Amino acid sequence: MSQKKVLFIVGDFVEDYEIMVPYQMLLMVGHACHCICPGKSSGDYVMTAIHDFEGHQTYSEKPGHRFVLNADFATIDPENYDALVLPGGRAPEYLRMNARVLEIVKHFANAGKPIAAICHGPQILSAAGVLVGKECCCYPAVEYEVTAGGGKYVAPNEQFNSACVSGNLVTAAAWPAHPAWMQAFVALLGTKIEL
């Protein structure tokens, strides 16, 4: 397997599982993963939030962990990366207002490089204008933004553990979908796992 370079864009109150788990999964299969955040550098950290489904009308939110960044947002060159991951949580709602974030996302979309987005991550895709003609699964509260951005909303299955592949894009509604979401993403990357 040839190592791929994967870029993650995160911010404070990114969903804890949606950054920690895919980051570790992709490292486990041999890829290089770099995590960036606007206004922050390698060695800085973002605070995560843990979202859970406990029978309320929406998810609950609890304090997560400090996730340490390992690349500098100001100097990152998306040309050097093979794929992009956009975790969910509350971070996407303000990350989508950063012009450089949208520029980076457009690079991956225009180049046809694999993009993985989960939960509220598609808010960034919609703001970047890269969902036109694409099918996209997301947290149900983000459905309007997907359709307003020209995408076709794909509802998650009842267990929220399904993923949707549309060209170079793989999306899912929430962290219970990690196995399906990451399996589809590594397939787009051409990753071969031998046990």
Can you give the pLDDT at residue 63? Answer: 93
What percent of the chain is helix, strand and coil (3-state, nearest 5)? 35, 25, 40
Within 13 Å and on the Cβ side, how many CA atoms surround 91? Answer: 29
Q: Scanning the structure block, which residue is given the tokens 């489904």?
A: 53
Can you give the pLDDT at residue 189? Answer: 97
> Dihedral of the CA atoms 172, 177, 183, 186 (nearest 10)?
50
Query: Over the stretch 24-79, which tens digit does the pLDDT of each residue have?
Result: 999 999 999 999 999 999 999 999 999 887 889 888 889 999 999 999 999 999 99
Which residue type is seen at 47? M
Which residues, other chains included, contact 87 with Cβ-Cβ below 8 Å and sequence gap of 6+? 8, 10, 14, 15, 18, 19, 22, 118, 119, 121
Can you give the pLDDT at residue 167? Answer: 98
Residues labelled as active-site residues: 119-120
Consecutive H or E run containing 150? none
Query: Over the stretch 85-121, which tens digit does the pLDDT of each residue have?
Result: 999 999 999 999 999 999 999 999 999 999 999 999 9
Q: Sort strands 115-118 and 169-172 into parallel, antiparallel or unpaired.
A: parallel
Alpha-carbon distance of 105 to 4, in angstroms, equals 17
Consecutive H or E run containing 136? strand 135-136
Q: Residues 170, 163: contact at Cβ < 8 Å?
A: yes
| Cα torsion angle, 66, 69, 72, 73, sign | negative
Structure tokens at 91: 């971070």
Q: Which residues pair with 171 in a beta bridge?
A: 117, 164
Query: Over the stretch 129-143, which tens digit does the pLDDT of each residue have?
Result: 999 999 999 999 999
Can you give the pLDDT at residue 150? Answer: 98
Can you give the pLDDT at residue 195? Answer: 67
Q: What mean pLDDT is predicted for residues 151-169?
A: 97
Q: Which CATH superfamily is domain 5-189 in?
A: Class I glutamine amidotransferase (GATase) domain (3.40.50.880)
